[in-house]
Chains A and B, each alone.
Chain A
């Protein structure tokens, strides 16, 4: 999920950086005082979630939670995820600093898209249907992220196409877990704090 330095061609790195800056700028513009604590909390959640590795078969997986973050934050997911990714790269070497833009776009853009597509539906749904929609958001954002990782690698040269295919396949277990976790979280939030998603973006 985190691409390292040197794996991508310059044009992909630059393109990713430009898109990331645009997304962050737009996200910051939409950030208002009331929501800053929530953005900070979800940024911290993403930072921590990537550190908890659960062994599955020969490899290990960790939660990414970008679907949930997208539902909760909308466009402000960009700055929230950027800061978490920056600190992960600086402290743990997860992903490179130069490809930070690409990584931010790959993780934040699917989050934003899922948020835009599904949030309003979740607000208008009873808890059970909201949970299913949450699951779709969780799985959908992982699938999109995997596709975007694959595309970033494929754009950088033919040799990376097998690697990109592998990235897609290896994310299937994450996709399932992420769908379940996001569904459960959305169900809880809709039951406990029904206005959570309706206040998400105004």
Chain B
């Protein structure tokens, strides 16, 4: 289903709206804010007006430390996402489970050698400032010898 999205010249950036503004404003201030339901206490991401677990509209934004673990990843070797990504090839897109709030987030994994990335790798949050409106949450391996310390154990299922 590529070939019909993301083909504009520049990088496609988020467009904050009524439901996501707090999240993006938090990122701009270098805080990762995740919604927690006031009634059933479930965390949810991406931001949503109602809790998918209990339909409550009452929620509180909690700051997350941004520590997490790689659940899976892929490596782009082609500029399917458009010309803006040409200079970044190869780049890694990962799904990270945050250890604190247990939500799953997408991000780029900032590594020099994608071959060393493993499922189970521990990561930390790093903010990438794009412009004065948008700052993106990104991830970087926790250990300095990036990628070489991926947890070998399978995650609990």
A in complex with B: no
Residues of A participating in the B interface, judged by any CB pair closer than 8 Å: none
